[in-house]
Amino acid sequence: MYKSNYLNNLLADVKARYSNEPEFLAAVEEFLDSMDFLVEKDPKIEQYSILERLVVPERIIEFRVPWVDDAGKIQVNTGYRVQFNSAIGPYKGGMRFDKSVNLSILKFLGFEQTFKNSLTGLPMGGGKGGSDFNPRGKSDGEVMRFCQSFMTEFYRHIGPNTDVPAGDLGFGAREIGYMFGQYKRIVDEWSGVFTGKNFSYGGSLGRPEATGYGLCYFAEEMLRTYFNTDFKGKKVIISGSGKVGSMALKKAIELGATVVGMSDINGYVADPKGLNSEEIIELAKAKGEFVKDYVAKHPDVQHSDCSRDLWNVPCDIAMPCATQGEINLENAKQLKKNGCYMLAEGANMPCDLEAIRFFNENEVLFSPGKASNAGGVAVSGLEMSQNAMHLSWTFEEVDERLKGIMKNIFKQCHETAVKFGQPRNLALGANIAGFLKVYDAMLAQGVC
């Protein structure tokens, strides 16, 4: 129950309307928890039905994607794009290819993306898309034919000033290349319609590292501000060995941390003396997973074939970088019991609602993905700028800007949390700070 009746009614209405969309409902509820500190102070939010408008995507596109597999059989998948909110800039956000993809997940991600993008300070609206197509185990030819078929429908809905997709789970440089190539062929124009492109055709240096590095820059600000310390000598655990986890591992080690546990989709490994990060990064680069090979090389290393058991490993700092819902209340309690005092989300909503509330009530400093993983989309924004200016910056230039952006996101979250009398509640800070800019733009633009 909220203090505000406006919010109670809104949440009940959203729950009734979208009862079959659990991931989306969780994201909305997490956000409304923060709005309860704001709506009664600012009656215009209710008067102009801002939140009612904000929880409904501006547009959802859903289409058939037929393609021919290597055996000559016609396969059919569904393609989606959720264009959530364009109040502050063109729709911007990744594409996910995974068999779990559905509208509930894409709406949750698009909703989160709206506030994340706002926090970066760059002019980007929120969007997310993808398909229930699973690229794992498919040949290059199959992936290319799928991407070409997808884009043959999708091209009409995107553009450098309309909607600029990028990568997410199952959607990397290969998929971006095939999609971009087909787009260029259809519209007969080179434009910065995707980010995460290879450097050879307009990608930004530093984009592959951006989410993981940005996460560590943000976590450093948390350590400095709340604990007057830094990463040196801290025991860290990281879940997920995709781009985000691998790059977070690299940067955390560089900043002086000891990474004592890490997982992939097959399980986890742990070593209180510290894992061999170079080996992990090398193994993960080839296959996106490393645990089986690492255990084969280090038979004595502590390990299990259950990825979730990683959260039983004692640590100071946890950085979940795999996917949504990977930390529940039980995992949260175990982390606390083993001494974890800080958690920075690298994935999108890896902690469920109960876990987040537990952290906030039990002095585990928590940062939400929409703030601490915003480095990826921030450098995507820098890629858009470079494309628009027809130039490219050095890695160092991009990395410096990324650092500045992450510091600024932390500052906004922290100062807003303090202003609302909840100094340790960075989720509240992120939600309110991210919301205020979108709200201002929506008010200015009238009923639309």
Tokens of 330: 């039980």
| SS3 state at 69 | coil
Tokens of 13: 């209405």
Query: Based on the number of CB atoms within 10 Å of its own CB, is 140 exposed (0-12), middle (13-18) or buried (19 or more)?
Result: exposed
Q: How far apart are CA 270 and CA 243, in angstroms?
A: 20
Q: Output the smallest distance, CB 113 to ligand 2IT, in A.
A: 6
Q: Output the smallest distance, CB 203 to ligand 2IT, in A.
A: 11
Q: How far apart are CA 138 and CA 133, in angstroms?
A: 10
Considering beta carbons, is residue 8 or 104 the nearer one to ligand 2IT? 104
- Over its C-alpha atoms, the chain yields an Rg (Å, rounded) of 21
Binding site for ligand 2IT (CB under 6 A): 92-94, 116, 166, 168, 195, 348, 376-377, 380
Considering beta carbons, is residue 37 or 91 the nearer one to ligand 2IT? 91
Q: Are 347 and 374 in contact (CB under 8 A)?
A: no
Tokens of 124: 């980007």
Q: Output the smallest distance, CB 97 to ligand 2IT, in A.
A: 12
Q: How far apart are CA 84 and CA 127, in angstroms?
A: 5
Q: Output the smallest distance, CB 289 to ligand 2IT, in A.
A: 19
| SS3 state at 167 | coil
Q: CA end-to-end span of the chain, whole Å?
A: 30
Q: Output the smallest distance, CB 100 to ligand 2IT, in A.
A: 15
Considering beta carbons, is residue 164 or 291 the nearer one to ligand 2IT? 164
Considering beta carbons, is residue 120 or 258 the nearer one to ligand 2IT? 120
Considering beta carbons, is residue 77 or 114 the nearer one to ligand 2IT? 114
Q: How far apart are CA 446 and CA 444, in angstroms?
A: 6
Q: What are phi and psi of 246, to 5 degrees?
A: -65, -45
Q: Output the smallest distance, CB 187 to ligand 2IT, in A.
A: 20
For ligand 2IT, which residue has the nearest CB? Answer: 94
Q: Output the smallest distance, CB 207 to ligand 2IT, in A.
A: 8
- The CB density around residue 162, as the number of other CB atoms within 10 Å, is 15
Considering beta carbons, is residue 168 or 209 the nearer one to ligand 2IT? 168
Q: How far apart are CA 393 and CA 404, in angstroms?
A: 15
- The CB density around residue 306, as the number of other CB atoms within 10 Å, is 12
Considering beta carbons, is residue 165 or 429 the nearer one to ligand 2IT? 165
Among 128, 235, 251, 370, the one annotated catalytic:
128
Closest to 367 in 3D by CA, of 416, 420, 414, 433: 414
Q: How far apart are CA 222 and CA 228, in angstroms?
A: 9
Tokens of 29: 């509820």
Residue for token digits 């939010």?
Answer: 45
Q: Output the smallest distance, CB 185 to ligand 2IT, in A.
A: 22
Q: Which residues pair with 171 in a beta bridge?
A: 168
Widest Cα–Cα separation across the chain? 64
Query: Which residue pairs, CB below 8 angstroms and at least 24 apart, start in 15-19?
Result: 18/104
Considering beta carbons, is residue 213 or 341 the nearer one to ligand 2IT? 213
Q: How far apart are CA 265 and CA 173, in angstroms?
A: 21
Among this protein's residues, is 128 annotated catalytic? yes
What are the residue numbers of the active site? 128
